[in-house]
Chain A
Amino acid sequence: MELQRIVELVEGKIVVSGRSSPGSGVSVTSVYSTDLMSDVLHYAIRGSLLITGLNQSQVIRSAEIADIPAVLVTQDKRIDREMAELARAKDITIISTRLPMFTVCGILYEQGLRSSRE
């Protein structure tokens, strides 16, 4: 699913536009949802979307290391400058939504996206 479609579905906004930015045509094939960074490194597959409630630079580091092109931060968590600058430096897209994680996951599941780990 293209990121632009995901932004629309979750009523989100782009905070940082990386190489996978909406409009670039980049798609994600699966989703992984967690606040635990070791779980990201263990279970998330290359090219998936990370949904998290955590607004820390560690999220971007984990995404970079695990080859995850885009991060969706839920519940309007504030993205501070440090996190945004790292995302820009590492070319990772950050999408923000006011919706809670469960709702976001439900919407994307209903539209056919599946977890990196079933």
Chain B
Amino acid sequence: MSAAEPIEGCFQLMGGDFTNAGAASSELKAILAKRGVSQEVERRVAIAAFEAEMNVIIHAVAGTMHYTITSEAVKVTVTDMGPGIEDIELAMQEGYSTAPDWVREMGWGAGMGLPNIKKNADLFSIDSVVGEGTTLEITIHIKDRPC
């Protein structure tokens, strides 16, 4: 059986757009379901993507979510035009957040976003420049590489 062709795509994310917040991750989840990946992979990608998407909605002016799906892995890259992260090590700690109170009232900003992404990713990298923006690269393996 031949492996499925790689597919890729991109979603535009608008900062502050809470009405559509999560729509990109929802669509990516549906694409993965259609693709026939396991429910576990589908859920892990969706959770990591959703947390990354929410970070853009909460903190940035705008951003993009780019995805590539091969027979081996799902790679999601989220790039934003946001304030950047001053101390990445601190931001990775559970419970640390710079989100304002009104965001917390919507159920977000509890400081679990980046740790949640790391927990669900097989590979995770974060690159941030204060005053310019942040890029997250999230990779989740669909299956182990053959030995």
Contact = CB atoms under 8 A, between A and B. Distances in A.
Interface residues of A, number: 22
Most buried by A among B18, B25, B26, B119: B26
A46 interface: yes
B22 A61 contact: yes
A36 to B, nearest CB: 5
A61 B51 contact: no
B39 A67 contact: yes
B47 A82 contact: no
Helix, strand, loop or mixed for chain A's interface?
Answer: helix
A11 interface: no
A38 B19 contact: no
A38 B108 contact: yes
A36 B19 contact: no
Contacts of A84: none
Nearest to B46: A65
Most buried by B among A36, A38, A42, A62: A38
Contact of B108 (A37, A46, A82): A37
12 contacts: A38-B108, A39-B112, A42-B115, A54-B107, A56-B106, A58-B21, A62-B50, A64-B29, A65-B22, A65-B25, A65-B50, A66-B47
The 10 closest A-B pairs by CB, nearest first: A38-B112, A61-B22, A37-B107, A65-B46, A36-B110, A65-B50, A41-B47, A54-B107, A42-B116, A38-B110
